[in-house]
Every structure is written in structure tokens, then in C-alpha cells.
Structure 1
């Protein structure tokens, strides 16, 4: 049984908080444009989200002190926990707070919403985004998923919740304070025309199918979950598989404690990755880069020019790619094969990446 209890009317609380914050200007949200792109026969959302252009740069963590703890990653000292950056999750303002989630978390609105009612589960005390998740993080996230599933607000599958986590810069992480992001699936369908709305579904929920996993251009690992599941055990197994994919099986196995069920003494993740959760599936995708350049034909016909960079976070495991400029949006719609190429480069490719256009 989950140790974290969330309000049964969570969807209504989120909706009310979002509407208030949008009206007061505390949340930045602009209606998005969306189209579907075929990625190896997988319908992938390409979503133009102008709100992302207003998002500030990633906060710079403080320089490491001489006595900082060693990092789990090679050759880099672990960052101290003393903060010298703006932390939106430290005592969040009333306008952004949806509800405290005892004993250790808050639910807050995402200031730069990509869909309406985009919200966040953040640890109340500062914890590192690059550390391994803990049992209470996963149980709190799943309790939110269950609240949406059980809500009477909607009678169809649109009442489900998609949860994702970005660990490390290559995963699209933009805030050092640990947080998981949450998107109502019915809101993720907004903007899709009738036929398209039925064609698209959350990618993570399909990743138990080996045929789907083979068609995804980057490696993914998935296991079934459900009420009463050992979420931490599932997460650690998937994390180790991601480590093996990036580091090799020998290095990934080093330090693992079979008796405790988690890497011995390991606190900071050794690889960067995205995590996704639905009610039925947990999935992890190891990451090596956040994204690559988007190009378009030069007006003078002399070749190609870079018009932007597509940066992908955990929404990629929902089958969604977010663009923030008109130039990127136009280029990727005109040449959707570019999206396939970029997806093949962000993690461990399932097939050799195609040559650049």
C-alpha cells in the first residue's frame, strides 16, 4: 500500500490552481500548435510551445569545494548542497502551491506550462536532481497517478496522468532541486484533430511491446507496474539496465548490492536518463545528449543552415517533441525525417543513426 496520501479531488485542485495562476500571470502558458509525425510507424507529437522561449537558462550550481564528496561519475567532484541559485521549489509562493503532500513533498504548478494543468511533485527539503530517486518520491508520484485514475472528473482514459523525471543535463533537466513533472493525458491530446487524437497515445504505455521498443530510435527499458507494486525495485532494475547500456555490463554491475537491492553506497546516478510512469508501466531511457541541431535549406540554395536546436526532455517518452521557435517548427514539419535522425542520437540508438541531411 502506498504510504503517501493525496487528495481524492486532486484533478480539481490542479485545475483551479492553474486557472487562478494563469489569470494572475504567475504561470506562463500560450496555446500550442501540434501535429503528428510518423517515427518508424509510431505517431509522435511535434508540439510548438512558445512558453518555452520564456524559460530562463539552467541555474548554475556552485563551484565544488575542495572537500566535496566524490561524484559517482568519473573525474568530477560531487557538488555541495549549498545553493547559490534561485530555487522555485524552496517555500513556493501561495500562487504556485497546489497542496502540500506530507510527509516530504509539495505539489506545485509548473511556471512554464507546456499544456494546461502541467504540475510538479517536488521534494520539500532540497535534494539533488541527479541523485537516485527514493521510495517516497516514486510512491508520491504513483499516488498522484491513482488520484487521476480514480477521479470522477472524467469517465474516459483522458483522466490518466503521465509522470516524467529528467536526470542530468543530457536528459533535459533544468532545475537542480529534485522534482518529477506531471501532465494530464487529456490535456496532452488538446490541439490534435479528431483522427490524430485517436492515433496518438502515450509512448511509455506501449513500451512493454518488444515490437514497439524496436521501432523507437533510442533504447528504452520498461516493466509493468500497478497498485501494490515494488516501485523502487522496478526503478532500480531499469536504472541498472540503463547503466549497462551506456557504461557496459561490467562497469554497471560494479558496486551493486544484491542483499540491499540497490547499488552499494550509490547516491548520485552514474548515467543521465529520463524516467516515465503511467498507471501500468515504468520506463527508463538512457541519454547522452539533450538534442541536436535543426536545419533547413538556405534561401540562396547553397546548402543548409542551422535554424535552432531541438532539446528533448522526458516528454520524449510520451511520444512528444517540444519546439520553442517558429523556425524549428517550420523546418521539422517540412522535413519530419529530421526528427527521426535526432531521436536516434539522443541516447543509445536501437539502430545505427542515419547520416545528417
Structure 2
């Protein structure tokens, strides 16, 4: 990754970003402009990896948009095209040009969950640009200056957990992700371990690399493309000869999740969004869906039946994790 040019203008991320996010979240929650869904949490041991399982009973009642009559079809609502002033934290510029917005997640599981969306409508399935990665990393650095950690993730493509077509990355305060854990049991953001090459017994293959102390947006994108190309080769196999000469713009060839921490960038190719959950009698009681938070070592369920079944038999979580991407044993030479 290339080093930062000291004369390069910085992204205009506010120095006090963590306080801005906290204040905006508290105000929006008080005024009813966002929905916060409290959770119960437990730690599961997945092949010696502490993995958070959270249960939100009220999430099952999350409001859903009413279907439009077939004769009057409208495009899906885009919350990022013109973000609500009540949810907007701050616009972002690079070289004084507006490029992104930081907005609160209207449906929050973790307090102060916020989103980095492109100001211009760009596809979620297209490859990330240097500006996307640069702004996300400057948010991470803003939290680091305040003595806090930020976990960033990106969902792209079918099976990745992506739910909006307008390009956006999601940002979570790690301290808020720990809330509810009476005994942290060694839990930490999984991507940090994966970025150091400590894949251990993770049930799915990942590729990652460390981020230098000083790095440009272009340098971040170089690293991202290296990870993406390696993952595409693993997924597409013999069909992936074009990957080496692929266009580094436009539509991605695979579905994947990307995670960023202060120290590392990690990518997991995706083949499925999740898997079924069964009770002690073998009856299907739900579905465990996973997005980029899987790279933090967390999962969420919406029903008590799923909650009870997975706590009783954590092997089901391991089985689903093994199905969502490429198994380590299917990769020549084992893990990355």
C-alpha cells in the first residue's frame, strides 16, 4: 500500500465524530426518528472462537414497507438519496467536493450504529472506490483519536446480507458492541485476528492484510483489490482466468463481505446468506442470516425458538458458518 502524501488535503471528518454520533443518536431516539431494538446476548464457543449470539424479540415487529399495487409500481424507497435531516450526522467532502454522507441507521441493534453512504447514487454491487475506503478509514481514525474502536463492514451481492442498492458501508462502535456481555469471555472483533493471519478454526475461508500506519485512499483500494481478486479466484476457480485481467471498475464478479479495523482489512467471499435453524426434535424453527458482522464474530436471531435452539446446540452456528462461503478444507493448502 502506498504511503500518504503529507500535502494531500484530508477528508473533512469532524475531529469530534464519536460525540457527534452519540448526540445525534440520542436526539433521534428521543424524538422517535429511529428505532432501537434492545438485545439479549450470549457467547458461543465456535471452534474455540468466542462468538456473540444476540436475540432481539422486538425486531420481528420491525415495520415493513407496504407493497405498492402492481399497476402503480414505484422504485424501492432509498433512505440514502436524500437522507432525513433527523438522521444526518454530517456531510463529507474530499478536496472540498461533496462525496458522502454519514447517517444514523434508522433500525439500530447496536447503539450509535451509523452508515457511510455515497452522496451520488452508486450501486452496492459495484467495486468500492478509493474515496469510499478513504472516508471509512478516516472515520476509524477519528474514533481512535478519542480512544475508541470502530468496526466497518460492507455487504455486496446476493447472499452477502445486503439490503439496500445504494452504496453504503456500515460502522459500529466496538465498545457498544460489547454491551450486555457480563463476561466478555475473550470476545473481540474477529477481523482483527483474521487480519493477522490467525484463522485458526474459523469455519470459512477469508483473506486479509494489515493496513500500514499511514495510507492513502488509493493505497487502501490497492489492498482491497488484491483481496477481492484472490477471493474471486477461490470462488470462480477455472472460470476466473479473467480475474487477473479484470476491469477494476463496475460490477463485482462475486458476492462478499469486507471488514475494516484500524489494523486490518479482511474479505470473505459469500455463497449463501445463511442456513436453517432446527430445534431438538429436528424441526425447522427459523433461519440464521448473516451479513458483514460475521467478520466481527457476531450473529443475530429474531425469534425465541431460534435463540433457544442455537444456545442448546451451537454446532448449528458452526454448520451455517461453514455454508456461507468457501470452506477452509476446500481451499488447497488449507486456510489463507
User: How does the TM-score come out when normalised to structure 2?
Assistant: 0.88
Alpha-carbon displacement from aligned partner over 1:231-278 (angstroms, at most 9, x marks no partner): 000000000111011101x43341544xxxxx3264100000000000
Q: Which runs of 5+ in 2 are unaligned?
A: 68-73, 331-336
Alpha-carbon displacement from aligned partner over 1:113-156 (angstroms, at most 9, x marks no partner): 121000000001100000000000000000000000002xxx4x
Give the CA deviation at 1:56: 6.0
C-alpha distance in 1, partners of 2:100/2:251? 20
State yes or no: 1:4 paired with 2:11: yes
Size of the aligned set, in residue pairs, is: 310
What secondary structure is seen at the aligned counterpart in 2 of 1:286?
Answer: strand
Report the counterpart of residue 18 of structure 1 in structure 2. Answer: 25
1:237 to 226, 232, 236: 226
C-alpha distance in 1, partners of 2:66/2:307? 26
Query: Structure 1 residues 144, 191: closer, same or farther in 2, change over 3 A?
Result: same
CA contact (8 A) 2:37 2:107 kept: no
1:333 to 284, 293, 311: 311
Q: Which runs of 5+ in 1 are unaligned?
A: 61-82, 258-262, 299-303, 353-357
C-alpha distance in 2, partners of 1:51/1:160? 28
Report the counterpart of residue 273 of structure 1 in structure 2. Answer: 256
State yes or no: 1:202 paired with 2:189: yes
Task: Provide the aligned C-alpha RMSD in A.
Answer: 2.0
C-alpha distance in 1, partners of 2:271/2:104? 29
C-alpha distance in 1, partners of 2:231/2:79? 30
Give the CA deviation at 1:49: 2.8
C-alpha distance in 2, partners of 1:59/1:150? 43
State yes or no: 1:90 paired with 2:81: yes
Alignment of 1:338-357 (within 5 A): 338-351=316-329
1:286 to 265, 269, 272: 269
Alignment of 1:22-101 (within 5 A): 22-50=29-57, 52-55=59-62, 84-101=75-92
User: How does the TM-score come out when normalised to structure 1?
Assistant: 0.83
